[in-house]
Amino acid sequence: MQKILNLGFLAFTALLTVLVADGALAQDATAVAAATYSGFGKAGAAIGAGLVIMGGGKGIGNIGGNAVQAIARQPEAGGAIFQNMIISAALIEGATLFAVVVCLLVALG
């Protein structure tokens, strides 16, 4: 797994180097800088939106899994555990939605 992560980081670094070097070799520096900044902003917003969705999914998955384990250990507390699980999942979903909207505003604005 670590080798795959290292390879992915290496590929990301190489891509970033190519993108930056391409802008440095251009003739009109002002136009290239504006286009590069815009492109990096949109790429960053897309990456940010993806990370937000993955983080929210991981958090809600952890809540659900731990709630099921807790209910299995103490079935009589199932109602309270389920209620707290739903509230926590809704709060995470709201924060995730807010972060995705911010990323989309950056990408489109």
Do 104 and 49 meet the contact criterion of CB atoms below 8 Å apart? yes
Interval 22-78: pLDDT, tens: 555 555 555 555 556 677 778 888 888 889 999 999 999 999 999 999 999 999 999
Question: Which residue range forms the structural domain that includes residue 17?
Answer: 2-108
Domain holding 40: CATH number? 1.20.20.10
Q: How many C-beta atoms surround the C-beta of residue 31 within 10 A?
A: 11
pLDDT greater at residue 16 or residue 66:
66
Q: Please tell me the total count of domains within the chain.
A: 1
Whole-prediction pTM value? 0.61
